[in-house]
Structure 1
């Protein structure tokens, strides 16, 4: 199948959305499918207000449609709700072509945290954007319930996976971990206000707090929490080593739809501490982590979990299963034209 994947989130951005799309594309291509990524790097762009690392493409529906048509797409998937996917949406509707969408990000909550704009206003846009989609792909049961409660229909499950060759318990820890006071409590992800990292850094469990990742809040957090170690962004085997070398992964976000870093950490044998919110409640089990409104208590409890059980559970998430779910949800253009 020839799949046009339109997305406002793509490299050089480093986040769970981009990593998911890259992994699923690679898996589909190994299986013999062709995937054309239509992303902001193909167009002139502007920095996103309050988030300059994210580029907003300046693209007409015609220009995006020409790429889809020129590729000869058998199916079209719109991965995000930004301007590039909005242009693709207009083109598909104008030409009567079916498409699928996905809900990767708690966009209403993010906008509210960054701008103070009521989330209810953004939910109106979310409902409108996804309404014509043949299927809206969601990663967890709790996000599915949230979307249904806000009037979004045609929901289909699309889980996440782990690169099991990369993320293993024997990955060597980074040299920076040598000599650190234990337990090492690790955060991995974007360093941004919506990730609630300050709640983690403010906990007082003995040991060392380590942050892996980069983003607009890093400088301020380094100033406020000088006792924490900030390592910047890591990838591949170096990231796996950070997971494997830590004693617990702390996932302080209250706004993520899934939390890819949790299953990567688990595959490396590292338990997870989190709040009892969407994402963690869908991913973690009593044997692999702890969820408490008191994050410090969750950290203490997670440290008692068996690392072998964590690794076994983490290995149950595969990109092959994720790609199969994605593929089965697509709306073939030929079938729509025949009807």
Structure 2
């Protein structure tokens, strides 16, 4: 199969979306399929590599340092040239037009729903959402209905993500994402060999980690509030923040009097994994996560997680691997204190065991099945159309 992946907001710092798109692409190539990736860039370029052809199309900058292909017409021309068997779209804006194009050409069309429109709107613009959600909610539902009619299959990674399309009549397929269990792993190979480092003293404070984009929908301010609440309760703690975004300067000002270190975006995933593995608890306060890759990566490192009790990240947790909490400083601090009271070897073993249930190989295999079934369906439809056309021609010729 020739699978063409289309993605907006794909950049070196785009985190989860880029991880998903790249990992799936590598999996397609490893399984013997041809993969083409189309992403926004400053200018048009084509580069053939081991992971397939990568095409960048001229784009415009948008918020968060991302870029977006503003018009579908150059994408349409490229698709006409490439002649894909299946199209995979990671965008609900301009690139969603690939769905109707694919349908008109007898090509499979798959949308990966990376975010829930209503949940992101509520998280990014909380005051406006509370004031006008009665009007905005139905409008976003209509948008979801339109998306559902444009694609053969919509991929969601959690039950929470799937609820965006309740009542739309769309064909949904829930496929959990995965984690690289080799890169993201505990400090040692077995719980028995993990060092019992003394924590909870001024010399060795409990280590907390926040890893993700520093933007409103990720709710990083609650990580700072959690740190402050723990200190108020007399717990020696230190917070390491990995990530960048438009809220960084504001967060640095708020946390100026607190034991917190802002490390920026770490491009070396192995180094990031090692630092997460050394932490005691990872904080994931984002209220609108449709899955929570950073949560899964933390669990794979043997580090338990406190997640917001809204969104899909809580679906990843299991007994002993973490807790959900209302995304406020006081409630998340209470959950952190609870986890720290668990035996270290047990909580780390439970976290790793849960992550091992989500290998990327399972995600890739499920996605290939989706693409293959759509491609086979379109081939069968095309054959039936050709047979029908031949029968009509024979009938018309006999009538003459």
Pair in the same fold by TM > 0.5: yes
SS at match of 2:4: strand
Structure 1: gaps (5+ residues): 172-178
1-structure distance, mates of 2:33, 2:141 = 34
What aligned pairs does 1:310-325 form with structure 2 within 5 A after superposition?
Answer: 310-325=351-366
What is the match of residue 305 of structure 2?
272
SS at match of 2:14: coil
Q: Residue by residue, what CA displacement relative to the aligned partner does 1:191-240 show, whole Å, maximum 9, x if unpaired? A: 10111111121122230122111111111111111222111111311110
What is the match of residue 369 of structure 2?
328
Once the two structures are overlaid, the 10-residue window that deviates more, 249-258 or 17-26, is 17-26
What aligned pairs does 1:124-139 form with structure 2 within 5 A after superposition?
Answer: 124-139=142-157
Query: CA 1:253–1:17 in structure 2 vs 1: closer, same or farther (change >3 Å)?
Result: same
What is the match of residue 37 of structure 1?
37
What is the match of residue 140 of structure 1?
158
Q: Residue by residue, what CA displacement relative to the aligned partner does 1:311-334 show, whole Å, maximum 9, x if unpaired? A: 222222111100111112222143
Counterpart contact for 1:98–1:336, Cα < 8 Å:
no
Counterpart contact for 2:115–2:161, Cα < 8 Å:
no
Counterpart contact for 1:184–1:246, Cα < 8 Å:
yes
Match of 1:221 among 240, 251, 254: 251
Structure 2: gaps (5+ residues): 42-55, 189-201, 385-400
What is the match of residue 168 of structure 1?
185
Larger proportion of helix? 2
What aligned pairs does 1:56-205 form with structure 2 within 5 A after superposition?
Answer: 56-61=68-73, 63-83=74-94, 85-115=95-125, 116=128, 118=133, 119-120=136-137, 121-144=139-162, 146-149=163-166, 151=168, 153-170=170-187, 181-203=204-226, 204-205=229-230
Task: Give the aligned CA root-mean-square deviation in angstroms.
Answer: 2.1
Match of 1:297 among 334, 342, 359: 334
1-structure distance, mates of 2:203, 2:112 = 41
SS at match of 1:99: strand
Q: Residue by residue, what CA displacement relative to the aligned partner does 1:237-277 show, whole Å, maximum 9, x if unpaired? A: 11101210110011101101000011111111100111222
Deviation at 1:97, TM superposition (A): 3.6
2-structure distance, mates of 1:320, 1:197 = 31
Count of aligned positions: 327
Deviation at 1:149, TM superposition (A): 2.9
2-structure distance, mates of 1:209, 1:152 = 44
Query: CA 1:52–1:263 in structure 2 vs 1: closer, same or farther (change >3 Å)?
Result: closer
What is the match of residue 176 of structure 1?
none
Query: What is the TM-score of this pair, normalised by structure 1?
Result: 0.89
Once the two structures are overlaid, the 10-residue window that deviates more, 191-200 or 68-77, is 68-77
Higher relative contact order at CA 8 Å, sep ≥6: structure 1 or structure 2?
Answer: 1
Runs of 4 or more above 6 Å deviation: none
2-structure distance, mates of 1:148, 1:46 = 29
Match of 1:53 among 31, 55, 65: 65
